[in-house]
Chains A and B, each alone.
Chain A
Amino acid sequence: MIRRMAWMFLLSGALAGCRDWQSAANHAGAEAERIWSLTLLFTIVLGLIWLAVMIAVVLVIRRRRAAPVSAHDALIDDAGHRRNSQIVGSLLAATAITVAILTVLSFITQRPLFAGRASTAGIRLIGHQWWWEVRYDGATPAEMFTTANELHIPVGTRIRLSLESNDVIHSFWVPSLAGKQDLIPGHNNSIELLAQRPGVYRGQCAEFCGLQHAHMGLLVIAEAPDAFEKWQAAQRAAAQTPQDGDPAKGAGVFVSKPCALCHTIRGTSAGGTFGPDLTHLGSRAYIGADVLPLTPGSLAAWIADPHSVKPGVNMPPVQLQGDELNAVTAYLIGLK
């Protein structure tokens, strides 16, 4: 009974890992597909070898038990010796050939991952403790914009991400789309992505970067080129200025309270760069780098006491009156 429960527990734990939005098995990118086929090949070949070894071991044990050979007989069996050395020699050769073939295959598969086929690096991903800054470049300043924790890419286009860090080493890892690549302060790294089908893929910082490393999630949203263009046009626009009610009051609270010293909202006087750009916060799915889904309640909880939600985060608690908190929340939720 206990054994069966232990098995159920193990199995459910393993299956819980199979939510498909952050999984190398559910590959949706050209790079991830190559890595996945290599993984499959290795698993199958090495699994078969393991199986063959196990079967050989079991056969040998059985044969010895059935007909024990005396030490003297074994010593004078010249033909047996020759046969044994032939078997060992051919197995050694087979091992060497297998390892050589797998090495060459691994090299051939991984070579295109770092070939640098995308023409331009249009997107910069900057790691911070503990969130992602995403900057989209453009031909003119009006086409450039900054967002956070959400990376939108068009399906079917090869994208080069330029990877930078503001403080310590982070690592970009979206298993459904590509392998890992580090974000290193003072060093320019890059990684290429080609999303093959639309979807939302989750990424995670894969290099321990401090207290809230585990809560440094990233969403990659791959969408059809026209939907991507539409999103880009909406993000380029400055924030709307609410005219009345709570949102209008909240806009005033935001720029007069400490919020504006760390956050930027384009179109207002708030221009801080210590925290994420909030110009279109209302359009994002999560807050705090994937800690809470974006709802008025969770946003208010985050503003009132971020350290209860994400202990150690750089955002300080800000003392606001109840009506000020409601107004700021209404304002930020409305920034679509």
Chain B
Amino acid sequence: MLRPQRPVPTLIAIAASLLTLAACKREVRDIHPDPVGAETPITTAMVPFSPGGAPSVTARTKKGEDYEKNAYQLAQGKTLFTKMNCNGCHSHGGGGMGPALTDDKWIYGDSIENIVATIREGRPNGMPSFRGKITDDQIWQIAAYVRSMGGKVLSAAAPSRNDSMSNLPSESRRGSDFEQHGGPTPKKD
């Protein structure tokens, strides 16, 4: 029978490799969402100032952080952004009838909680309320995607931009000798 010469290091190696299994955590996805109408309570201040000089309160939520880091939630948000016709006014984030979402000007706050409140409640001058129309999760997904448009979430999780929005061929089809005329990067001589 084969016997290890030094049993203790072997055992340690086996235990260490078993420990790595603990890292194999599968991403848990909620496959039984709350019905339309249920809401995650949030506390948001719409403007950065408040009476008496006390700082305004926008409580960060665990849900917001989770959604911003999760590629699936961001991708769902991107699909919903198109399907719920956000593009009709915000035009792929560039703005039109509604404000741009890719810049750093935020009338009602730029935290994910503020954006959720804006989508949920609607805002004056055209932003409709989606309360009771889509699920709470879907509102958080869209809000997380809106944050990704301005580069405010991890780039590893954020969905890529549509090729159709670019006036250039897609990156995968450009080839190594592609030159971008009049682009932001000057050509090296």
Tell me the A residues contacting B by CB distance below 8 Å: 166-167, 186, 211, 258, 261-262, 272-274, 307, 311-312, 316-319
A75–B136 alpha-carbon span in the complex (Å): 85
B:80-131 near A, CB below 8 Å: 80, 83-84
Given A258-B36, A316-B36: A166 in contact with B31 (beta carbons within 8 A): no
Which one, A167, A186, A316, contacts B35 given CB within 8 A? Answer: A316
Q: What's the least CB distance linking B188 to chain A, in Å? A: 30
Please state if A258 and B132 are interface contacts (CB–CB under 8 Å).
Answer: yes
A68–B162 alpha-carbon span in the complex (Å): 75
B45 CB–A CB distance under 8 Å? no
Please state if A312 and B83 are interface contacts (CB–CB under 8 Å).
Answer: no
Can you list 23 pairs linking A and B with CB atoms under 8 Å apart? Answer: A166-B79, A211-B29, A211-B31, A258-B132, A261-B84, A261-B133, A272-B83, A274-B80, A274-B84, A307-B31, A307-B32, A307-B33, A311-B32, A312-B31, A316-B33, A316-B35, A316-B36, A316-B134, A316-B137, A317-B33, A317-B35, A318-B35, A319-B35
Which residues of A sit under 8 angstroms from B79, Cβ to Cβ? 166-167, 274
Residue of B nearest to A212 (CB): B31
B163 CB–A CB distance under 8 Å? yes
Which residues of B sit under 8 angstroms from A318, Cβ to Cβ? 35-36
B70 CB–A CB distance under 8 Å? no
Please state if A316 and B135 are interface contacts (CB–CB under 8 Å).
Answer: yes
A167–B138 alpha-carbon span in the complex (Å): 16
> Residue-by-residue, is B150-173 near A (CB-CB < 8 Å gives 1, otherwise 0)?
000000000000110000001000
Which residues of B sit under 8 angstroms from A273, Cβ to Cβ? 83
Residue of B nearest to A313 (CB): B31
Which residues of A sit under 8 angstroms from B33, Cβ to Cβ? 307, 316-317
Residue of A nearest to B82 (CB): A273
Residue of A nearest to B36 (CB): A258
A24–B95 alpha-carbon span in the complex (Å): 51
What is the predominant secondary structure among interface residues of chain A facing chain B?
loop
Q: What's the least CB distance linking B86 to chain A, in Å? A: 12
B:33-51 near A, CB below 8 Å: 33-37
Residue of B34, B75, B83 contacting most chain A CB atoms (<10 Å): B83
Q: What's the least CB distance linking B130 to chain A, in Å? A: 8
Knowing that A186-B163, A258-B134 are A-B contacts, what are 14 other residue pairs whose CB atoms are under 8 Å apart, sorted by A's residue number?
A166-B79, A186-B170, A258-B133, A261-B84, A272-B83, A274-B79, A274-B84, A307-B31, A311-B32, A316-B33, A316-B36, A316-B134, A318-B35, A319-B35
A334–B75 alpha-carbon span in the complex (Å): 35
Which one, B37, B75, B83, B134, contacts A319 given CB within 8 A? Answer: B37
Which residues of B sit under 8 angstroms from A166, Cβ to Cβ? 79
Please name the 7 residue pairs, one residue from A and one from B, whose CB atoms are nearest each other, closest first. A274-B83, A317-B35, A312-B31, A311-B31, A316-B135, A258-B36, A319-B35
Which residues of B sit under 8 angstroms from A261, Cβ to Cβ? 84, 133-134
Given A258-B134, A262-B83: A319 in contact with B36 (beta carbons within 8 A): yes
Residue of A nearest to B135 (CB): A316
Which residues of A sit under 8 angstroms from B83, Cβ to Cβ? 262, 272-274
A262–B134 alpha-carbon span in the complex (Å): 9
Which residues of B sit under 8 angstroms from A312, Cβ to Cβ? 29, 31
A307–B31 alpha-carbon span in the complex (Å): 7
Q: What's the least CB distance linking A188 to chain B, in Å? A: 12
Residue of B nearest to A262 (CB): B83
A308–B170 alpha-carbon span in the complex (Å): 40
A120–B79 alpha-carbon span in the complex (Å): 30
A47–B86 alpha-carbon span in the complex (Å): 60
Q: What's the least CB distance linking B71 to chain A, in Å? A: 12
A311–B37 alpha-carbon span in the complex (Å): 20
> Residue-by-residue, is B163-189 near A (CB-CB < 8 Å gives 1, otherwise 0)?
100000010000000000000000000
Residue of A nearest to B29 (CB): A312
Which residues of A sit under 8 angstroms from B80, Cβ to Cβ? 274
A272–B130 alpha-carbon span in the complex (Å): 14
Which residues of B sit under 8 angstroms from A211, Cβ to Cβ? 29, 31
Residue of A261, A273, A318 contacting most chain B CB atoms (<10 Å): A261
